[in-house]
Structure 1
């Protein structure tokens, strides 16, 4: 549980950095940046999997495709769902739509909580119930304030939920599944980078572009790898609730990039931030309880050892 919480927080933090990082790649448009992200991601994702011991999962999926070729169609579907989200993530801040996408990430955890409760019969703790209530208040206010929901918002909330649900259903909800999603995206990624109108010698004339593209791959591997691992270690409900940290960081990044939070929007963000704070407290509470259990176990073992030694002396 604690490992999953740490990975989820790490992923959200890296995603917030990536939102801002896209400004270093303005020489490309949103689609070209997506293409470079997918190409640069693959080697670092493979390295990440080597460190996490998950490389064997790549072969497992390959064996499943050999045994049942129709399974490959489902892999293509999950790849398409992932590609749309990864494209939108970089396209939005470059076109002034960062706040609409961040609202989609606000809605996403609620949809994931609904999926977890309905399809997996997962129960909410009291901390989680209070967090959900706070989140619902913030999201309902935002919908009431805007009067409608942007297509970017719906695409994130519903598209990502469908992606996670499908991966869980076909048992590819691990890094091996995402590795294959990435590989199947490569043809589209290569097509997008070919639309660049500047000469390729620009990379030699501006060496910082090579560093920027490499950094994009490293950050993407850490963020997406941690996110996928967190989805495996955590129940769907808790994974969804912890995801609230990401839109908060995305909103902060959007503000840094020039978008504004107006006074009436604070009634959306404050309840959301309260939900995140409650989840942080729950995580700290879990850590505290685990430490108490560990300490109690150590104490019991020491007492047992003392009693055993005492009995031996008496004998």
Structure 2
């Protein structure tokens, strides 16, 4: 008799491996502020340039190991996909630059808020651009998120600009990547490759003017900047490994681990101010995410019946 392609024990094993990779990826992303704090003396634009440079080299190595060069070159020959990837490259560069600047300027709480808001932004973008209908749970979650933003503007007298830029840039990035529909590693490799000429030009300018932190500072700084590629690429590889093994609903729940860790780092390790007003803003967002997550869980249960 033919053996089944995947037994229940094999499926369980794959799910366990997927869960491990998901936890590793989102834990790593949550701990990323520690790395960017370590290079906070370096201007954010220079850190971003190194992040792109070393990511290109590491991603090229990964593509070689995975034998994905034919796929990657095929994407490079497709003008329509290349234009969309240029847009997504600009969006991810904005996201990365904002995050690096925020961490360096003691705004880790704002980055945490941004990534908590991101799932709500994704729902809103789906409604506006993909004609997806919102149910009652999603609508309530969006209203709670909007209430949090309005509260900060009216009571605290400030717009949560960092959080909104991070949430919206990553939301639009996901929207564009959904439209272009390419594998994650080759897609990110092409995005960083498109940004590379500008980064090399900027790093060259710094070197010529003896302003480079890579060559002008201690070896420790140079090593940390070179590690930017690993910091960028490693969690992405783990995430891809998880995404092929776990349902999207499971990954949706685990994704809150990243901003939760960043939140705890900001409050308990870096002593960022966390007053009653900020607590109310976060509480409203957390309520929105509880509603959103319960709704997603119920929808998944109905689909499985």
Tell me if 1:60 matches 2:71. Answer: yes
* 32-41 or 186-195, larger mean C-alpha shift: 186-195
Q: Does 1:174 align with 2:181?
A: no
Please say which structure displays the higher CA radius of gyration. 1
**Which runs of no fewer than 5 residues in structure 2 stay unpaired?**
1-13, 301-305
Answering whether residue 267 of structure 2 is matched by residue 257 of structure 1, we say: no
Q: Which residue of 1 aligns with 2:11?
A: none
Counterpart of 1:16 (choices 30, 34, 37) is 30
How far residue 273 of structure 1 moved from its aligned partner, in angstroms, is: 6.3
Partner in structure 1 of residue 43 of structure 2: 29
Question: What SS is found at the alignment partner of 2:167?
Answer: helix
CA distance in 2, matches of 1:233, 1:165: 22
2: distance between equivalents of 1:64 and 1:205? 39
Q: Find out whether 1:73 has 2:83 as its counterpart.
A: yes
Cα-to-partner distance string for 1:223-263 (whole Å, 9 max, x where unaligned): 23334555676666655554322222222233333422113
The residue aligned with 2:7 is none
Select which of 105, 108, 117 maps to 1:95: 105
Determine the C-alpha separation between the residues in 2 that align with 1:202 and 1:169: 37
User: CA RMSD, aligned part only?
Assistant: 4.1
- Structure 1 equivalent of residue 221 of structure 2: 209
**Residue in 2 that maps onto 1:303:** none
Partner of 1:40: 54
Q: What is the aligned partner in structure 1 of residue 194 from structure 2?
A: 184
Partners in 2 of 1:232 and 1:189 — Cα distance? Answer: 32
Work out whether residues 113 and 237 of structure 1, in 8 Å CA contact, stay in contact via their aligned partners in 2: no
How far the C-alpha of 1:87 sits from its partner, in A, is: 1.3
Superposed CA offset, 1:69-94 (max 9, x none): 34321221111111111111111111
- Do the aligned partners of residues 134 and 81 (structure 1) sit closer, same or farther apart at CA in structure 2, a change above 3 Å counting? closer
Shift of 1:186: 1.0
Match of residue 104 from structure 1: 114
Preserved CA contact (<8 Å) 2:88 2:173 = yes
2:256 to 244, 252, 261: 244
Task: Identify if the C-alpha distance between structure 1 residues 113 and 213 changes in structure 2 by more than 3 Å, giving closer, same or farther.
Answer: same
What does residue 298 of structure 1 align with? Answer: none
Cα distance, 1:253–1:169 mapped onto 2, change above 3 Å: same
The alpha-carbon distance between structure 1 residues 264 and 204, as it changes in their structure 2 partners (threshold 3 A), is closer
Give the TM-score taking structure 2 as reference length: 0.71
Q: Check 1:48–1:65 CA distance in 2 against 1; reply closer, same or farther (3 A cut).
A: closer
1:180 Cα shift?
A: 0.8
1:110–1:241: 8 Å Cα contact kept in structure 2?
Answer: no
Structure 1, unaligned stretches of length 5 or more?
287-315
Give the paired residue count: 276
| C-alpha distance in structure 1 between counterparts of 2:284 and 2:244, whole Å | 27
Shift of 1:14: 1.5
2 CA distance for matches of 1:121 and 1:5?
Answer: 29
Q: Is the 8 A contact 1:8 1:242 kept in 2?
A: yes
